[in-house]
Chains A and B, each alone.
Chain A
Amino acid sequence: MNRRSSQTLLAVREARLAWIFMGPALAVLLLIATGPLLATLWESLHDHDLRLPWLGRPFVGLTNYQEAATDPRFQEALGHTLAFTLLTVSLELTLGLALALGLDSLARGRSLARLVVLLPWALPTVVAGLVWRFIFDSQSGLVNAVVGWLGVTTLQVDWLADPKAAWVPIVLGDVWKTTPFVALLLLAGLQSIDPRLFEAARLDGAGAWRRFFDITLPLLTPALSVALAFRALDAFRVFDLVYVLTGGGPGTSTEVISLYAFLVLMQDLRFGYASALSVSVFFVSFILALFYVRAARAAVVQQS
């Protein structure tokens, strides 16, 4: 046997081994993820209402999407979701950067600090939601007690029952739970910056702010964009936090699109329309995911 054919043989063998190794995982993913997603896509082209079973399940093309485009409740939920994403992600990036810089400068107690930061991130979202609901509870809540003690009684509202105020615990809960992730990502980015750069800048007489804006920030941009895209993707899909804190209420004033799609599915039992809503959520997430992959790739290129 000559050398080349033995090499192709090796390559074929390696590829075969790879497929054997990946087989079970891919089969499971196909069954429980890709399959259902395609089914949702297909379902979204049908009029399928479980409350009206005698209508059957006629093919209606893009009618469900047309309905979504003119559905005021969907538009409202979309607006809420976008505003929530914009607000939480900017807060999380700012606070996350502050936390990362702080953690980086800590001389002692680093592992305790890391524990403090990791815990909220690792907690089940429902627990995080409940903790914040307790803090903002109208009767036994800490916030109203403190506000009352300070004498600012105009702020003593029933937080979770007020259409505007209800956003405060939702945003705070999300920021509290997910900023740690941003901070840890940025911390990794910070620690990959060559300390000699700071030393050289210091010798040249650059102050702390100057060093931050001229060295830290530019070199942290890849990590920042990864964090931005990752968080935007997550924030756009927000569901359980809102579900636990307000259930979308009062009325529909805190309803986000994942929650609306869920309610159309589980309460109205309109499977076709709910599927169209879910597919819309999916497509926006998909676009955000593409940004994420590009940002991640740029970050890797810069690191190496």
Chain B
Amino acid sequence: MTRAAERIGTVLLLLAWAFPLYWMFVASLTPESRLFGVPQMVPRSLGLEHYRALFGERQFWLPIRNSLIVAGATTVLAVLLGAPCAYAMARLQFRAKSWLLAIVMAVSMFPQISVVSPLFLLLRSIGLIDTFPGLVLPYLTFAMPLAIWLMSAFLRELPREIEDAARLDGAGPVRTVVEVALSFTLGPERQTVPVALALFRGRYQVPWGQILAGSAVASLPVAVVVLAFQRRIVKGLTAGAMKG
């Protein structure tokens, strides 16, 4: 009896969690004329008109391209710079280690607002405002500590014997770092598409259909990454959060 109740409760909770995304998806496929009528749980007529408008007149390709560039560059840089740092923190002995680790963690806990104005002034003084590097650098502030944190947790769990065996085969720490970095390509940063979405305004009314179509498009890469890496994300998340 209690088992059944528990199961029903869990399923209801999960449905509640899935519902907003379902609703977004359905609405993005609902023609404008029906969007303001009585909401229907199971849609009767679906169409791609919002998606057509999104990629036609809205030129949504542009923010998507920007997102890909910024996210790609941020991820590559965070992993590339973070991996050796994480290796040093997880495996090598040196003084001031716990201090440095604490500082790196503190950086990831900054309220973004507290570094905005000097960053803006800095980027302006070196002429990086409105450029891709000017976007990637601030993202790196938050992506890199996370990358270092997750990777060093991962490295600490990696049995030392594996590394020792690799060393006997002639592979040094550099090789380990490269391999960890390669196996660690999660970290989908996402922005610019969100910015474009946040700034979506219709001339006469809120273009909900298009906004939701855009949201669905923006969710797609995230959904794919989550689907592909869910086990590892869960593991990294919990290990990272517990072992900081």
Q: Which residues of A contact B (CB under 8 A)?
A: 11, 14-15, 17-22, 24-26, 28-29, 32-37, 39-40, 43, 95, 98-99, 101-103, 105-106, 111, 113-120, 122-127, 129-132, 134-135, 137, 139-140, 142, 145-146, 149, 176, 179-181, 184-185, 188, 208, 223, 226, 230, 233, 236-237, 239, 243-244, 258, 261-262, 265, 271, 274-275, 278-279, 281-282, 285-286, 289, 292-293, 296, 299-300, 303
Decide if B127 is an interface residue (CB 8 Å cutoff): no
Question: Is A289 a contact partner of B117 (Cβ separation < 8 A)?
Answer: no
Which residues of chain A come closer than 8 Å to B113, judged between CB atoms?
237, 239, 258, 261-262, 265, 278, 281
Question: Is A116 a contact partner of B14 (Cβ separation < 8 A)?
Answer: yes
CB contact under 8 A between A122 and B225, given known A36-B115, A226-B241, A296-B242: yes
Among B53-61, B163-171, B189-197, the one that faces the other chain is B189-197
The digit string for B57-68, where 1 denotes a CB below 8 A from any CB of A, is: 000000000000
Q: Which residues of B contact A (CB under 8 A)?
A: 2-3, 6-7, 9-10, 13-14, 17-18, 20-21, 23-24, 27, 35-36, 38-39, 81-82, 84-85, 87-89, 92-95, 97, 100, 102-107, 109-119, 121-122, 137-138, 140-141, 144-145, 148, 173, 177, 188, 190-191, 193-195, 197-198, 206, 208, 211-212, 215, 218-219, 222-223, 225-227, 230, 233-234, 237-238, 241-244
Question: Is A119 a contact partner of B148 (Cβ separation < 8 A)?
Answer: no
Which residues of chain B come closer than 8 Å to A258, judged between CB atoms?
111-113
CB contact under 8 A between A40 and B115, given known A32-B138, A130-B212, A293-B102: yes
Chain A's closest residue to B109 (CB) is A289
**Bound form: Cα–Cα A105–B11 in Å:** 11
Question: B141 → chain A, closest Cβ, in Å?
Answer: 5
Which residues of chain B come closer than 8 Å to A37, judged between CB atoms?
110, 114-115, 118
Question: Is B111 a contact partner of A285 (Cβ separation < 8 A)?
Answer: yes
Given contacts A124-B194, A278-B113, 4 further A-B contacts (CB under 8 A): A102-B9, A115-B230, A122-B225, A233-B109
Question: Is A29 a contact partner of B107 (Cβ separation < 8 A)?
Answer: yes
Question: Is A105 a contact partner of B244 (Cβ separation < 8 A)?
Answer: no
**Bound form: Cα–Cα A289–B140 in Å:** 20
Chain B's closest residue to A19 (CB) is B94
| The one of B35, B225, B244 that contacts A293, using a Cβ cutoff of 8 Å | B244
A-B contact pairs, 25 of them (CB 8 A): A15-B93, A21-B85, A21-B173, A22-B100, A32-B119, A32-B138, A34-B107, A36-B115, A37-B118, A39-B121, A98-B9, A101-B6, A113-B14, A116-B14, A127-B219, A134-B211, A142-B23, A208-B2, A244-B198, A258-B112, A261-B113, A292-B109, A293-B244, A296-B242, A303-B242
Question: Is A185 a contact partner of B238 (Cβ separation < 8 A)?
Answer: yes
Question: Is A230 a contact partner of B242 (Cβ separation < 8 A)?
Answer: no
Which residues of chain B come closer than 8 Å to A293, judged between CB atoms?
102, 105, 244
| The one of A24, A226, A279, A292 that contacts B84, using a Cβ cutoff of 8 Å | A24
CB contact under 8 A between A285 and B110, given known A32-B119, A145-B38, A265-B117: yes
